[in-house]
């Protein structure tokens, strides 16, 4: 049971919208949203994790062999929205600075 909790925490952190947008390069977040065919053209750095998660939800559902894996994706993303919101709030001074200095993360 403890191993499953640690594994779940690791998976959530790896897929966390805040980690994708704040702690990794802009190209990584943009590439990920392009691959998911999200309709978002840009992600503002302020509350970027929450925005990234909603952009993930705003993508067409995948069909084919990986469809089973993505059936529960909306539920997982909604849980991640809460976690990303908390992390985004903690990182707000930094993301305010980055938004002013660098602007939004461009996806297109």
> How do residues 32-54 score in pLDDT, each as one tens digit?
999 988 999 999 999 999 999 99
Q: Which pLDDT band holds residue 89 (cuts at 50, 70, 90)?
A: very high
CA distance 103 to 108: 14
Distance spanning both ends of the chain, measured CA to CA: 42
pLDDT tens track for 21-30: 999 999 999 9
pLDDT tens track for 72-81: 567 778 888 8
Global pTM? 0.78
Q: What share of the chain is helix, strand, coil (3-state, %, to 5)?
A: 70, 5, 30
């Amino acid at each position: 049971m403890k191993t499953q909790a640690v594994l779940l925490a690791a998976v959530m952190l790896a897929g966390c919208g805040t980690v994708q947008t704040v702690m990794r390069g802009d190209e990584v977040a943009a590439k990920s949203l392009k691959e998911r065919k999200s309709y978002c053209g840009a992600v503002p750095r302020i509350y970027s994790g929450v925005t990234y998660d909603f952009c993930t939800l705003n993508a067409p559902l995948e069909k084919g062999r990986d469809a089973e894996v993505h059936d529960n994706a909306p539920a997982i993303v909604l849980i991640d929205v809460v976690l990303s919101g908390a992390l985004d709030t903690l990182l707000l001074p930094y993301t305010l600075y980055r938004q002013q200095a660098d602007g939004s993360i461009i996806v297109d």
